[in-house]
């Protein structure tokens, strides 16, 4: 009675494993060998249950057909599940190889449906009478089971690094059925005793189901369901205890820009994506728990690149707005004393002209006469300095005025743009740091303040890249049927690997805290809004060159690129 109860438990357990695992088969082919193990154990136990001392010939025949179908399928499924758990390379490269050992088993099993079935096992004899093919069937089965058990032991050793208890469970669960069947057949106990192998096999399959699959040894994890995560916009990666990815949703493949993620090292992929300064990827990790404890880990990826770009653009816009208000206030404050100085200089200019009179100088004495003679020149230099300050203040006030993105494009003189940008960028550097070369160019359609912002960003980047002695060249000319504004420096240039990313948001070659990586990105975006483009390259002899290309305004003619003389002057 206890034996029959054990067989019934084996059937129930085998069917549970079959139904539980097979429910994932449309998306998890890795679950198929475990499903076959559950089915084969149920068939074996069901066949043993049908065969009894009181069973009729037809019942015995049916029982033996079920029993030996289970024993034929079991070794193949065992090897398949074990190779999957041990990450056998041949299984990944040629999974069809698992079918080969099933062919001789199927050929021998077919004898149960022929008149020559006695070559395998007598259909109805009690106790069973084995023919010569039975021992071939048993030898093949034992060999496959032994081979598969070796793979399970390798997997158990690997799992032992994370869970020694589960390692011991796998070793015991996979070796006991093999040893039991070997002792049962070789010692002749089949003549007088019932076969305990199906019951022990059920225990082994339960151990495989819990300790191997739920522990993440196989590439199938029941807790990683694509029907739950595949529609998420968040990237979801499920890794086993070894840190190998066993499941991922489409969003994760998109975020990581990888087609195949299964089997890849999670740490390697995360290290690569987090080192990409052009992207902002948030990573959240947590352990995944199954029936036997922690079975792996789950990683959630959020691509916040666009959100961070918008946030930083808003932050930058707020800073620029605050600087604009501050600049406007300073400019207005400077304008008041400038008016007094200009008024007083008018009076001083009259006085200087009077002092320059020969009669006046003769009455002043030699030393004072020399000063009186230089007075008109001194006043002229002061007036020139005030004019330059007034021009700079005017440029600052113009630049501080906010521009609406919806503001219509109007014809803009690019020479004026270049001069204003030079005036802004030249503050605090040597007077000859920026040299300009302006060809006659037609106007372009645009918004002057935004074009000044682009040119200023390019000049400031060139100054920062040049170190303590900047040598900047600003050139305005016509090229390729477009108006081009080029900024060249003599800095270290741009490494070749950085060139494709130089205009990416957040990308910067500066040190931590020295740049946001938004200046060139914003300039590129502004150029695109004007129907133009921004290009970056390294110049021969060292340094970098950035070129803004804009189409001329409709109706404007692009003059010849051959110009006899260029106006070259030092920046203010």
Q: What is the DSSP string of 184-226?
A: HHHTTGGGTS---HHHHHHHHHHHIIIIIITTT-SS--TT--H
- Per-residue model confidence (pLDDT) at position 24: 55
- Per-residue model confidence (pLDDT) at position 508: 64
Span 349-403, pLDDT tens digits: 777 777 766 666 666 666 777 777 777 777 777 777 777 777 667 666 665 555 5
- Per-residue model confidence (pLDDT) at position 487: 94
Q: Let me know: does 186 contact 155? Beta carbons within 8 Å.
A: no
The four Cα atoms 66, 72, 73, 76 give a dihedral, to 10 degrees, of 170
Q: What does DSSP assign to residue 178?
A: H
* Assigned token pair, 316: 């930058």
Domain boundaries of the chain, sorted by first residue: 2-213, 226-303, 308-402, 409-572
Q: Which of 21, 107, 518, 473 is nearest to 510 (CA)?
A: 518
- Per-residue model confidence (pLDDT) at position 567: 37
User: Matching CATH topology for 2-213 and 409-572?
Assistant: no
Of 200 and 64, the structure prediction assigns the larger pLDDT to 64
SS3 273: helix
Q: What is the CATH topology of the domain spanning 409-572?
A: Heat Shock Protein 90 (3.30.565)
Give the angle 438-444-446 at the CA atoms, nearest 5°: 120
Q: Which CATH architecture has domain 2-213?
A: Up-down Bundle (1.20)
Span 3-62, pLDDT tens digits: 778 778 778 877 877 777 666 544 455 667 877 877 888 887 888 788 865 668 888 888
- Per-residue model confidence (pLDDT) at position 54: 62
Give the percent of the chain with pLDDT over 70. Answer: 71
* Assigned token pair, 472: 């900047």
Of 280 and 509, the structure prediction assigns the larger pLDDT to 280
Scored b (16 or more CB within 10 A) or e, 532-557 reads bebebeeeeeebbbbbbbbbbbeeee
Give the angle 473-477-480 at the CA atoms, nearest 5°: 120
Residue 202: CB atoms within 10 Å = 26
Distance, in Å, from the CA atom of 279 to the CA atom of 494, rounded to the nearest integer, reads 20
Residue 405 has pLDDT above 70, yes or no: no
Banded model confidence at residue 562, pLDDT cuts 50, 70, 90: very low
Residue 328 has pLDDT above 50, yes or no: yes
Banded model confidence at residue 507, pLDDT cuts 50, 70, 90: low
Phi, psi (deg, nearest 5) at residue 267: -65, -40
Distances (CA, A) of 482 to 15, 469, 525, 533, 566: 76, 32, 18, 11, 18
Residue 465 has pLDDT above 70, yes or no: yes
Q: Let me know: does 355 contact 372? Beta carbons within 8 Å.
A: yes
Give the percent of the chain with pLDDT over 90. Answer: 8
Q: Which CATH architecture has domain 226-303?
A: 2-Layer Sandwich (3.30)
Q: Which helix (H) or strand (E) holds 436?
A: strand 434-438
- Per-residue model confidence (pLDDT) at position 213: 55
Span 98-115, pLDDT tens digits: 888 889 989 988 888 887
Q: Let me know: does 553 contact 411? Beta carbons within 8 Å.
A: yes
How confident is the model over 248-256, as a mean pLDDT? 84
Residue 563 has pLDDT above 50, yes or no: no
Residue 539 has pLDDT above 90, yes or no: no
Give the angle 498-502-504 at the CA atoms, nearest 5°: 120
- Per-residue model confidence (pLDDT) at position 39: 83
Phi, psi (deg, nearest 5) at residue 263: 85, -10
Residue 319: CB atoms within 10 Å = 10
pTM, two decimal places: 0.42
Residue 212 has pLDDT above 70, yes or no: no
- Per-residue model confidence (pLDDT) at position 571: 43
How confident is the model over 192-209, as a mean pLDDT? 68
Banded model confidence at residue 320, pLDDT cuts 50, 70, 90: low
């Amino acid at each position: 009675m206890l034996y029959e109860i054990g067989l019934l438990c084996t059937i129930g357990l085998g069917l549970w494993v079959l139904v539980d695992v097979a429910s994932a088969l449309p998306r998890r082919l890795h679950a198929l060998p475990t499903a076959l193990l559950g089915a084969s154990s149920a068939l074996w136990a069901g066949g043993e249950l049908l065969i009894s001392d009181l069973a009729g010939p037809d019942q015995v025949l049916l029982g033996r057909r079920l029993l030996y179908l289970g024993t034929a399928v079991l070794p193949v499924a065992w090897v398949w599940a074990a190779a999957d758990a041990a990450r056998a390379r041949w299984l990944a490269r040629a999974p069809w190889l698992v079918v080969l050992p099933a062919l001789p088993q199927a050929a021998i099993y077919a004898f149960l449906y022929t008149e020559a079935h006695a070559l395998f096992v007598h259909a109805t004899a009690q106790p069973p009478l084995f023919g010569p093919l039975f021992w071939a069937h048993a030898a093949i089965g034992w060999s496959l089971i032994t081979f598969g058990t070796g793979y399970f032991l390798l997997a158990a050793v690997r799992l032992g690094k994370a869970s020694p208890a589960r390692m011991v469970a796998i070793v015991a669960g996979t070796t006991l059925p093999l040893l039991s069947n070997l002792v049962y057949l070789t010692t002749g106990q089949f003549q007088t005793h019932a076969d305990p192998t199906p019951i022990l096999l059920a225990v082994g399959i339960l151990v495989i189901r819990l300790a191997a699959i739920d522990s993440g040894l196989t590439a199938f994890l029941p807790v990683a369901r694509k029907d739950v995560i595949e529609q998420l916009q968040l990237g979801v990666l499920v890794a086993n205890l070894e840190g190998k990815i066993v499941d991922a949703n489409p969003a994760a493949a998109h975020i990581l820009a990888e087609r195949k993620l299964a089997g890849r090292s999670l740490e390697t992929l995360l290290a690569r994506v987090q080192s990409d300064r052009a992207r902002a990827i948030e990573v959240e990790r947590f352990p995944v728990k199954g029936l036997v404890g922690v079975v792996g880990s789950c990683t959630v990826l959020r691509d916040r690149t666009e959100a961070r770009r918008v946030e930083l653009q808003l932050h930058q816009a707020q800073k620029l707005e605050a600087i604009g208000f501050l600049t406007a206030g300073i400019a207005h404050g400077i304008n008041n004393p400038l008016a007094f100085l200009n008024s007083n200089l008018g009076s001083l200019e009259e006085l200087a002209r009077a002092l320059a009179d020969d009669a006046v100088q003769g009455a002043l004495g030699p030393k004072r006469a020399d000063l009186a003679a230089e007075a008109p020149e001194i006043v002229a230099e002061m007036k020139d300095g005030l004019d330059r300050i007034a021009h700079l203040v005017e440029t600052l006030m113009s630049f501080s005025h906010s521009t609406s993105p919806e503001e219509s494009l109007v014809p803009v003189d690019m020479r004026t743009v270049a001069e204003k940008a030079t005036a802004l960028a030249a503050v605090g550097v040597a007077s000859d740091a920026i040299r300009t070369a302006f060809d006659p160019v037609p106007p372009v359609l645009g918004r002057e303040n935004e074009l000044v912002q682009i040119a200023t960003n390019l000049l400031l980047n060139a100054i920062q890249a040049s170190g303590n002695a900047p040598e900047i060249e600003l050139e305005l000319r016509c090229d390729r049927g477009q108006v081009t504004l080029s900024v060249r420096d003599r800095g270290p240039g741009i490494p070749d690997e950085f060139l494709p990313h130089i205009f990416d948001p957040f990308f910067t070659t500066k040190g931590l805290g020295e740049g946001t990586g938004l200046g060139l990105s914003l300039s590129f975006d502004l150029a695109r809004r004007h129907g133009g483009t921004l290009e970056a390259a390294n110049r021969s002899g060292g340094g970098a060159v950035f070129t803004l290309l804009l189409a001329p305004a409709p109706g404007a003619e692009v003059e010849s690129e051959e110009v006899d003389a260029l106006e070259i002057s030092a920046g203010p």
